[in-house]
A and B are shown apart, each in its own frame.
Chain A
Amino acid sequence: MSTLSKLSRRRFLELTGVSATGLLLGAAVSPASRAMDVLATATGERLNLFVSLRADGAVEIVAHRSEMGTGIRTSLPQVVADEMEADWSRVRVIQALGDAAYGSQNTDGSRSVRNFYATMRQMGAAARRMLEQAAADTWRAPLAECRARNHEVHHADGRRLGFGELAARAAALPLPGLDDLPLKGREDFRYIGRNVPIVDLHDMTTGNTTYGIDVALPDMVYASIERTPHLGGRIAAYDAAAARKVAGVLDVVELQGPEGPPAFNNVEGLAVIASNTWSAIKGREALAVQWRPSPHSDHDSAAYLDALQARVSGGPGRVARERGDVERALGDADQVLEASYRTPYLAHAPMEPPATLARVDGGRCEVWACTQNPQATQAAVASALGVDKAAVTVHVTLLGGGFGRKSKPDFSVEAARLAAHVGRPVQLTWTREDDVRHDYYHACSAMYFRGALDGDGRATAWLARQATPAIGATFDPAVTRLEDGWLSQTFGSVPFATPNLRIESHEAPAHVRIGWLRSVYNIPFAFGVCSFVDELAHAAGRDPAQYWQEMIGDDRHLDFAPEGFEFSNYGRAIAEYPYDTGRMKAVLRQLVANIPWGETLPEGQGWGLAVTRSFLSYVAVASKVRVDGDTLVVEELHGVIDAGTVVNPDRVHAQLEGGMVFGLSLALNGEITFADGAARQSNFHDYPVARLNQVPRVIRTHIVDSEALPAGVGEPGVPPTAPSIANAVFAATGQRIRELPLARHFDV
């Protein structure tokens, strides 16, 4: 059910921070879905998205989602422009402020297009209808004879009026109901499905961009913060005088950490305020802070993972999903395989570290931030300052990468608190060391699998257990285990037709801030699941690609309910977005068709593959590797994605390329370890991320042509990549990699 409401110009101004004249449309639709993540903001989400049209014909379209590299500032307005019949060259994109009126602006979970595609089309169609009506009124002609086409309305007899000429008249019209608005047919799409270059392309190649780190105000000062190395630490002692002696240093400010769970609060720290970033960083080095211990200050990640590993291989955990009788099938099996896998903590390391400018003035606060979630920023800053949300304005800059890190507003809370204290605008820039040492880390994981094969090599039982710290623990320390919601990410939702199956979850209390990173729990779980399928295939003496098809079984829509599993399906109804094994098998077949799968390779070379469904998309990835002594080289990466309807194919290719490179990066090098509660890595020398020379010279991507509902694109390329590489290593060498990263086993 949708309704359109007219927005006052003043309200438009409030929502975007720019003035507009002419036709203003606001679309309000009921909540698209229950958000699956712990961030879910207000229930009963409303979406308010805006089109304005100036008398000179310029169209302004509001982008309410954050641009962190997916191209979303282009793709969603591209949809509006298409349905509106606007000429793209006359469209300007305006970035929305953070405001609950838009519904969720939380740009994560790969859901911008899937949650807003329909709404954007309706918004565009509504604008088109009003312009056609305005022309009909002008000409005193029936509406049916007036058609909008490329920024003009044409009459059947050849008369035409430009959009700009119709702006005032259209703006005075009542708004049409959304539900009976005709939408364009696929064959009439002008921009949807086309490679429209991103609106920021020219600026990004000329340095004319503004990220969070770049915002400047005349009177501002710069801050850098020394934070507790272990979760929950408190300041014991420091040398403020030494810091103040550093040229350019203006002040040293204590920032108290939260009493309760970390949530979105700042961690305890000492800020150095200075006249430039460099002085602030140098001032920090002089502070010589000492920290009080906390219950987490003896966290040791190696011992922790050992303990989790012992737990999962030691016995049953809570049963999340069950079918048949796994124990009996294991007892009757011809062959039983068991294997333990583990994956480390990871840090996001977006190229632009967290950065914010905050100004607090007369009870009002204004923040400019590279945030994926401006409303969470608004709420967290308001709560930290003890003011009403309405008193906090959040401007969303470009994001120099996000990957989930910039969904957390802790860094804006820091800047706002400092600005309130100092009485001047404060630009806060995290150093890379801050970023790596104070992340909301991607969870480490220990997994254990047992599989049964019959005499023909068919899998008859699948038993899987994991122990993985929960994101929920960041908000509530009582959350010590993954439940079905997060297990829905690959581990619990395996599509296998094996007659007997059991999925279990073990305790794993958290000792660091756990967050979500590009594709979240699919990362460890795809590695475990897709590796173990490969193990079964080899144990059965079968071709892995063929074995995958058989493991998945018939084309069907999966129903998890009879097996006691509450499948979250990324927040969407299973009827709307079924788990379709046919589509999963099809991407795998397409992948195999795209590569010389099965070719005979020289010693030390091999192909591996993996397939996952994540964020409602189906992705299969194949890797070709060469192992030469201790050296591992990934020579090729191939990906196939079925993401349903795609708006901007070039950006989908780019996300799949980037997702696979991200997956390659974590597979080869990604590892954060902790000793004495503190992250032992600090910058790109000890937390390496993929560089050009590690990236295969052959990377190919393939988008399955589909008219299905749009699914996710930003994340799904990541999960299958690491297991495809590990499986290729096995094919090349016979060595099974059960622990990431590969740098633990090879020179990469």
Chain B
Amino acid sequence: MKLKINGRTHEVDAEPDMPLLWVLRDLLGLKGTKFGCGKALCGACTVHFNGSATRSCQLPVSAAAEGEVVTIEGLSADGNHPVQVAWRARNVPQCGYCQSGQIMAASALLARNANPGDDEIDAAMSGNICRCGTYPRIRAALRDAARATSEARAGEGEA
């Protein structure tokens, strides 16, 4: 089975019903995507699938083979996606475990809505649990990233 992950094609030998999460982690050694519940309840395993935030614990590898997957490792070449930059500026992570999923969810949100309001942020991000309670900073960093994204886009428009 061929999988397109972070712009590269990988050949994997997996049962078709194996969730993408375990293919990434156990077969491909991409450990940045985390396991938290296995039931689409926590968002720790969030990746981009064809650009949308997707729970990789619920996506069978056979279905994943039909599209493009981006994981935290492939979100940006240098770790400088506006969401990653904003997360660091606000010192969001505590234990850090949920943050791959948070960042993937936040970046997918900004990709489709560069300037989300508080309710849209709540709606898009409430599937991602942070047991350490970094929520206030997630909100703040997401707004910062949105601002940076909008400004960057406005800049592009002028150029």
Q: Which of A138-146, A394-402, A457-465, A527-535 contacts B (4 or more CB under 8 A)?
A: A394-402
Partner of B91, one of A203, A650, A690, A691: A650
Known contacts A200-B96, A207-B73, A695-B136: A216-B84 contact under CB 8 Å: no
Report whether A351 and B26 are in contact in the complex, using a CB–CB cutoff of 8 Å.
no
Q: Does B153 contact A (CB under 8 A)?
A: no
CB distance from A706 to the nearest CB of B (A): 22
Q: List A residues 401-418 near B (Cβ within 8 Å).
A: 401-403
Known contacts A351-B131, A401-B131, A692-B122: A213-B136 contact under CB 8 Å: no
Q: Which of A70, A276, A402 has the most CB of B within 10 A?
A: A276
Report whether B42 and A351 are in contact in the complex, using a CB–CB cutoff of 8 Å.
yes
Report whether B93 and A699 are in contact in the complex, using a CB–CB cutoff of 8 Å.
no
Alpha-carbon distance between A69 and B135 when the two chains are bound, in angstroms: 14
Interface size class of A (residues with CB under 8 A): 35 or more
Chain B residues in 8 Å Cβ range of A662: 131, 133
Chain A residues in 8 Å Cβ range of B97: 211, 350-352, 398, 400-401
How many residues of B are counted as interface, with CB atoms below 8 angstroms from the partner's CB atoms? 59
A206-B75, A207-B71 given. 13 additional CB < 8 A pairs? A69-B96, A205-B92, A207-B31, A207-B33, A277-B25, A278-B26, A351-B42, A351-B131, A352-B97, A353-B35, A398-B96, A692-B122, A693-B126
Report whether A401 and B132 are in contact in the complex, using a CB–CB cutoff of 8 Å.
yes
**Beta-carbon nearest neighbor of B101 in chain A:** A351
Alpha-carbon distance between A706 and B38 when the two chains are bound, in angstroms: 45
Report whether B26 and A400 are in contact in the complex, using a CB–CB cutoff of 8 Å.
no
Q: List A residues 194-209 near B (Cβ within 8 Å).
A: 195, 197-198, 200-209
Report whether B95 and A398 are in contact in the complex, using a CB–CB cutoff of 8 Å.
yes
CB distance from B51 to the nearest CB of A (A): 18
**Beta-carbon nearest neighbor of B138 in chain A:** A692
Report whether A207 and B93 are in contact in the complex, using a CB–CB cutoff of 8 Å.
no
Chain B residues in 8 Å Cβ range of A684: 37, 39, 41-42, 129
Alpha-carbon distance between A398 and B32 when the two chains are bound, in angstroms: 13
Q: Which of A609-617, A651-659, A724-732, A736-744 contacts B (4 or more CB under 8 A)?
A: A651-659
Chain A residues in 8 Å Cβ range of B25: 214, 277
A contact face: mostly helix, strand, loop, or mixed: loop
Q: Which of B19, B71, B131 has the most CB of A within 10 A?
A: B131
Encoded as 1 (CB less than 8 Å from any B CB) or 0, chain A from 682 to 697 comes to: 0111000111110101
Q: Does A601 contact B (CB under 8 A)?
A: no
Partner of B126, one of A654, A685, A691: A691
Chain B residues in 8 Å Cβ range of A654: 91, 94, 134, 137
Interface residues of B (CB under 8 A from A): 14-15, 18-19, 22, 25-27, 29, 31-39, 41-42, 44, 71-73, 75, 79, 84, 87-88, 91-100, 103, 118, 121-123, 125-139
Alpha-carbon distance between A309 and B60 when the two chains are bound, in angstroms: 49
Chain A residues in 8 Å Cβ range of B92: 205
Report whether B22 and A278 are in contact in the complex, using a CB–CB cutoff of 8 Å.
yes
Chain A residues in 8 Å Cβ range of B127: 691
Alpha-carbon distance between A575 and B139 when the two chains are bound, in angstroms: 43
Alpha-carbon distance between A684 and B39 when the two chains are bound, in angstroms: 9
Q: Does A210 contact B (CB under 8 A)?
A: yes
Report whether A689 and B93 are in contact in the complex, using a CB–CB cutoff of 8 Å.
no
A-B contact count (CB 8 A): 182
CB distance from A197 to the nearest CB of B (A): 6
Encoded as 1 (CB less than 8 Å from any B CB) or 0, chain A from 317 to 358 comes to: 000000000000000000000000000000001111100000
Q: Does A660 contact B (CB under 8 A)?
A: yes
CB distance from B95 to the nearest CB of A (A): 3
Q: Does A40 contact B (CB under 8 A)?
A: no
Report whether B84 and A205 are in contact in the complex, using a CB–CB cutoff of 8 Å.
yes
Alpha-carbon distance between A654 and B38 when the two chains are bound, in angstroms: 28
Partner of B41, one of A206, A353, A429, A685: A685
Q: List A residues 162-202 near B (Cβ within 8 Å).
A: 195, 197-198, 200-202
Q: Does A447 contact B (CB under 8 A)?
A: no
Partner of A692, one of B27, B35, B36, B121: B121
Report whether B32 and A432 are in contact in the complex, using a CB–CB cutoff of 8 Å.
no
Alpha-carbon distance between A570 and B137 when the two chains are bound, in angstroms: 31
25 A-B contact pairs sorted by A residue (CB < 8 Å): A69-B95, A69-B132, A71-B94, A201-B88, A205-B87, A205-B93, A207-B32, A209-B32, A276-B14, A276-B27, A277-B35, A278-B18, A350-B95, A351-B131, A352-B97, A353-B35, A400-B96, A432-B37, A432-B39, A658-B132, A689-B131, A690-B135, A691-B126, A693-B122, A693-B126
Q: List A residues 631-657 near B (Cβ within 8 Å).
A: 650, 654-655, 657
Interface residues of A (CB under 8 A from B): 67-71, 195, 197-198, 200-211, 213-214, 216, 222, 247-248, 276-279, 281, 349-353, 398-403, 429, 431-432, 650, 654-655, 657-662, 665, 683-685, 689-693, 695, 697, 699
Known contacts A276-B26, A401-B132, A684-B41: A204-B91 contact under CB 8 Å: no
Chain B residues in 8 Å Cβ range of A402: 95
CB distance from B143 to the nearest CB of A (A): 11
CB distance from A89 to the nearest CB of B (A): 16
Alpha-carbon distance between A695 and B36 when the two chains are bound, in angstroms: 20
Report whether B95 and A400 are in contact in the complex, using a CB–CB cutoff of 8 Å.
yes
Alpha-carbon distance between A353 and B79 when the two chains are bound, in angstroms: 26
Q: Which of A68, A222, A402 has the most CB of B within 10 A?
A: A68
Alpha-carbon distance between A69 and B96 when the two chains are bound, in angstroms: 7
Nearest first, the 5 A-B pairs at minimum CB distance are A207-B32, A661-B133, A400-B97, A204-B96, A69-B95
Alpha-carbon distance between A213 and B22 when the two chains are bound, in angstroms: 12
**Beta-carbon nearest neighbor of B32 in chain A:** A207
Report whether B26 and A200 are in contact in the complex, using a CB–CB cutoff of 8 Å.
no
Partner of A214, one of B27, B31, B130: B31
Partner of A210, one of B14, B31, B71, B84: B31
CB distance from A403 to the nearest CB of B (A): 8
Chain A residues in 8 Å Cβ range of B122: 692-693
Report whether B99 and A205 are in contact in the complex, using a CB–CB cutoff of 8 Å.
yes
Chain A residues in 8 Å Cβ range of B35: 213, 277, 353, 429
Chain A residues in 8 Å Cβ range of B91: 195, 197-198, 201, 650, 654
Chain B residues in 8 Å Cβ range of A68: 95
Q: Which of B31, B95, B98, B126 has the most CB of A within 10 A?
A: B95
Report whether B133 and A278 are in contact in the complex, using a CB–CB cutoff of 8 Å.
no
Report whether A683 and B39 are in contact in the complex, using a CB–CB cutoff of 8 Å.
yes
**Beta-carbon nearest neighbor of B119 in chain A:** A693
Alpha-carbon distance between A279 and B92 when the two chains are bound, in angstroms: 35
**Beta-carbon nearest neighbor of B19 in chain A:** A278
Report whether B38 and A351 are in contact in the complex, using a CB–CB cutoff of 8 Å.
no
Chain A residues in 8 Å Cβ range of B37: 432, 683-684
**Beta-carbon nearest neighbor of B121 in chain A:** A692
Chain B residues in 8 Å Cβ range of A202: 79, 88
